A = this chain, B = another copy of it.
Amino acid sequence: MKIQLALDRMEIAEAIELTRKVADSIDWIEVGTSLIKEFGVASVKELKRAFPAKTVVADIKTIDNARYEFEMCFESGADVATVMGVSPLVTIVACMEVAQRYNKQVMIDLLNTSAEQKRALMKYKEAIFCDHVSKDEQEISGSQNRGMKNGELLEDPDILVAAAGGISLDSIGKLRETLNPAIAIIGSAITKADNPAAAAAKFKQICLQEENLV
């Protein structure tokens, strides 16, 4: 299980400083939607410049204007960019096409997708599928319900699954037992920890133990 550090609700400089503290323990860096909408694509550029060896995910949450947004992300150094699964399918197709042209990756965010939409999306096998409990669902509704049930969508072992939303040191064990994603997207459990480096190291230890088990 890889760790994708989600950076949200902070300044770019703060995001870089925080990432430096935990860089040894995390695999991928996510430039959160809030950074992109607050500071623009400069946020992606600066994070990639600071960490050129890391995979940088631009959480741009595209839902239209796919070519423009995805080209902008990849030109700014992103290795992966996100598109909403609730978009018109033509938007997903355009994201896949741009990513292929740049030799980069698409992450499809399954937030609020219907079962029918999920089925339709599954044919984009080169994409990473992100099972996402949104901030609003967590913080306002208190929901922890994931859209992907244990085993659902996982019949094809080649499909890469990520999980995002409220993953903590307490919940990551259960996540592994149920969804067992290839990528665990972790935000505040690291960024808001009293000691982010120590928290990230604990997550890494859990992920390594797991690899040894497999």
Binding site for B on A (CB under 8 A): 8-9, 33-34, 36-43, 60-61, 63-66, 68-69, 72, 84, 86-88, 90-91, 93-94, 111-112, 114, 134-137, 140-141
Contact = CB atoms under 8 A, between A and B. Distances in A.
Contacts of A60: 37
Given A88-B112, A111-B88, A112-B86, A66 B36 contact: no
> Taking each of A64, A68, A135, which has the highest tally of chain B beta carbons within 10 Å of its own beta carbon?
A64
Contacts of A114: 114
Contact of A94 (B33, B94, B140): B140
| Majority SS at the chain A contact face | helix
B136 A66 contact: yes
Report how many copies the assembly holds: 2
Contacts of A34: 65, 68-69
Most chain B Cβ neighbours within 10 Å, of A43, A87, A90: A90
Contact of A63 (B38, B61, B91): B61
A111 to B, nearest CB: 7
Contacts of A69: 34, 37
Contact of A84 (B37, B43, B63): B63
A10 to B, nearest CB: 11
Given A9-B68, A33-B64, 15 more contacts: A9-B65, A34-B68, A40-B40, A40-B43, A61-B63, A63-B84, A63-B134, A64-B111, A65-B136, A84-B86, A88-B137, A88-B141, A90-B141, A93-B140, A114-B114
B40 A8 contact: no
Given A61-B63, A64-B111, A140 B37 contact: no
Contacts of A136: 64-66, 87-88, 90-91, 94
Nearest to A142: B90
A42 to B, nearest CB: 7
Contacts of A40: 36-40, 42-43
A36 B37 contact: yes
